Every structure is written in structure tokens, then in C-alpha cells.
């Protein structure tokens, strides 16, 4: 290659270009592209700007020389991050600097084409502070679905910024257990249990209905509508109160879940860093072990509440 284009970015995917990449140069303006990117787009990324001041100017990069950070590796055991240019070991699948996965665009699981990579930081810079913790350390702690949580955690540096979490809304206690917030998981389990207890009087009434009336939800609703006058009003009112209470609990979890998780994550990261020197493991592994998720705890939270409710319901009817 006569002119080095290393250090420029592919105008399609935005990744850094290196001289040993498989490149295509626009025959009209000379702009370099990754071959896969050019073939996927079907034309030069500057096509609409050819002949204008906003088009690619090859003279601008004629004297371009690769910076020390982006020198070509002199052995097959090393490579560079396609996004930030950091030197990587051959077996590194994720850049230790920017956190982006390293995927060969010509060898994706779905055949040749553009490698679609997901930024685990969700667009947040690795050294950007979330409260007083670098985003890359919060990423190591969160571990799963980081591209969702990191931008929201950063936005919450503004105290008034809110967020909505569907998982926390739909199954509050399960989500808290899954994210290793065990105290909050127990708290929301008890709150959900308390709201469900208001349904017990109505459940006791329903247990006295004919079998055919309880064969389906439709049949049950029809039977209750036809015999509403014979049903004591108190069980219905209690059931309504319990339903409303459960909805309120879910809404609180949905609105506050991300902020509660952010607070817990930052506190745990600080605890791990305070004892960092007590372990021989690198900080990122210590954070990953402390954080991440606990699928087993989530499943226990899911089935334990159902078991407790069934047990209490059966006991209530018998007594």
C-alpha cells in the first residue's frame, strides 16, 4: 500500500483501519473501507458528498503515519482492537481497554458480512464516572446486560433522572434475587405476600363453588356475576385492595429498580476495591464474582412465593 491509512476509521462501521486489513478504496474519491463494509453498503460511504467540501479528501491523510499505539504487531500472537486500537493478545475475545468484542467480519456465525458488535458499555466511555466509580468497573460488576444498565446508571448522575425496568415490574422479588440484591428480594417477597393475603377470603368463598363453576376463568367470572348478591361483599373488597396493593408494589419496583440496583452496585464495587489487595485475583474478576447474576436465587424466589401462598391458602381454607 503506497499511502498508509492506518488510524483512520471505516466510514461504514466506524472501526479503526489497519494497513493489513482487507480494504477497498473508492475509485472516485479514494476513501478506504473494510471490504465487507463496502460490499454490504454497495457503494462508497461518501457517495452523496463526492465533489463537495464534505467529501473524503485523500490529501488530508497523505502524510499519515501509524502512531505507536497502533503499530502493526510483529507476531501472530498479537493484534489490535478494531475500535480503540489497543494492543491485544491473540486469544483476547473482548478488548480489555474499551470492552468491545472482537469479531472477524468475514467469519461471523451467520456467514460473510458485517460483524454486528454490541458495545458492553452502551456508549459510555470506560473511564467515565458513574458517581465516583469508573464505568468499566461497574460493567465488570453488572456483567450481564451491561449495555442496558450502564447508560441508565450514567444518566442517574442527574438525581432527577428516572428509569423504568420491566423485569422489576413484572416479577419484583425474582429480579432482585436474580441480581443478588437479597435483602431487597426478601423485602419485596414479603410485600407481595402481604398483598396476596387479602385474596384469601375470596379464595375460601370460591372453594365452595360447584366444580363446574371453577373449571375455567371464564366460567368462574360468569358464576360470580350471576351470584354476586349471594357473595359477602367483604371478600371482594379485600381482594380488590390486595390487587391494587400488588400493582402499586410492582410500579414502585419498576420505577425504582434501576436506581436501587445502581446504589447497591456502587456500594459493592467500593467494598471489593477496599479489599482488593487481599486477593491475588485481578480486580475485574473480583468484581465479576461479587456481582453478576444468580439464576438459582431467582428461581428460588419464583417458586418459593408460589409455594408459600398455596400452603397458606390451603391452611386458611381448612381452618
20-24, 93-97, 112-116, 212-216: segment of lowest average pLDDT = 112-116
Query: How many other CB atoms are there within 10 angstroms of residue 131's CB atom?
Result: 16
Please tell me the distance from the alpha carbon of residue 174 to that of residue 303, in angstroms, as a whole number: 9
Match 380488590 to its residue by C-alpha cell: 240
The mean pLDDT of the chain is: 80
| H-helix or E-strand spanning residue 87 | strand 87-89
Residues 301, 309 contacting (CB under 8 angstroms): no
What's the whole-model pTM score?
0.63
Half-sphere exposure (CA, 13 Å, Cβ side) for 126?
A: 11
The residue among 6 and 127 whose pLDDT is bigger is: 127
Place of cell 463526492: 50
Beta bridge partners, 101, equal 94
Higher pLDDT: 111 or 299? It is 299
Phi, psi of 111 (to 5 degrees): 95, -175
Q: How confident is the model at residue 83 (pLDDT cuts 50, 70, 90)?
A: low
Rg (CA), the chain: 29
Cβ atoms 85, 68 nearer than 8 A: no
> Which 8-state DSSP code applies to residue 9?
B
| Residues 121-141: tens digit of each pLDDT | 888 888 899 999 999 999 999
**Closest Cα partner for 153 from 33, 261, 285, 38?**
261
Q: 32: buried, middle or exposed (CB in 10 Å: 19+, 13-18, 0-12)?
A: buried
Indicate the SS3 state at residue 246: helix
pLDDT for residue 115 is more than 50:
no
- Over residues 206-256, the pLDDT tens digits come to 777 788 877 787 887 787 777 777 677 788 888 899 999 999 999 999 999
pLDDT-derived band at 299 (thresholds 50, 70, 90) equals very high
72: alpha, beta or left? (left if phi > 0; alpha if psi -120 to 50): beta
Give the confidence band of 22 by pLDDT, cuts at 50, 70, 90: confident
Amino acid at each position: 500500500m503506497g499511502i498508509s491509512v492506518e488510524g483512520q476509521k471505516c466510514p461504514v462501521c466506524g472501526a479503526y483501519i489497519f494497513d493489513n486489513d482487507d480494504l477497498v478504496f473508492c475509485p472516485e474519491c479514494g476513501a478506504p473501507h473494510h471490504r465487507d463494509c463496502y460490499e454490504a453498503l454497495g457503494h462508497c460511504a461518501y457517495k452523496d458528498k463526492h465533489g463537495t467540501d464534505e467529501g473524503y479528501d485523500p490529501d488530508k491523510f497523505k502524510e499519515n503515519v501509524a502512531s505507536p499505539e497502533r503499530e502493526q504487531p510483529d507476531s501472530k500472537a498479537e493484534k489490535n482492537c478494531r475500535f480503540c486500537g489497543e494492543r491485544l493478545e491473540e486469544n483476547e475475545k473482548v478488548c480489555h481497554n474499551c470492552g468491545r468484542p472482537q469479531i472477524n467480519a468475514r467469519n461471523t456465525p451467520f456467514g460473510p458480512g458485517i460483524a454486528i458488535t454490541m458495545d458492553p458499555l452502551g456508549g459510555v466511555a470506560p473511564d467515565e464516572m458513574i458517581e465516583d466509580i469508573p464505568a468499566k468497573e461497574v460493567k465488570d460488576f453488572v456483567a450481564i446486560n451491561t449495555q442496558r444498565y450502564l447508560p441508565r446508571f450514567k444518566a442517574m448522575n442527574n438525581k432527577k433522572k428516572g428509569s423504568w425496568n420491566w423485569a422489576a415490574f413484572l416479577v419484583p422479588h425474582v429480579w432482585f434475587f436474580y441480581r443478588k440484591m437479597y435483602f431487597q428480594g426478601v423485602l419485596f417477597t414479603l410485600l407481595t405476600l402481604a398483598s396476596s393475603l387479602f385474596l384469601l377470603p375470596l379464595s375460601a368463598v370460591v372453594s365452595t363453588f360447584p366444580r363446574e363453576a371453577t373449571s375455567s376463568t371464564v366460567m368462574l367470572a360468569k358464576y360470580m356475576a350471576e351470584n354476586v348478591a349471594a357473595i359477602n361483599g367483604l371478600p371482594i373488597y379485600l381482594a380488590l385492595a390486595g390487587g391494587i396493593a400488588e400493582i402499586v408494589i410492582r410500579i414502585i419496583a419498576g420505577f425504582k429498580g434501576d436506581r436501587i440496583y445502581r446504589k447497591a452496585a456502587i456500594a459493592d464495587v467500593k467494598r471489593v476495591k477496599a479489599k482488593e489487595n487481599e486477593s491475588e485475583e485481578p480486580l475485574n474478576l473480583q468484581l465479576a464474582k461479587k456481582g453478576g447474576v444468580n439464576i438459582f436465587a431467582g428461581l428460588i424466589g419464583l417458586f418459593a412465593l408460589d409455594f408459600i401462598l398455596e400452603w397458606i391458602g390451603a391452611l386458611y381454607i381448612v381452618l
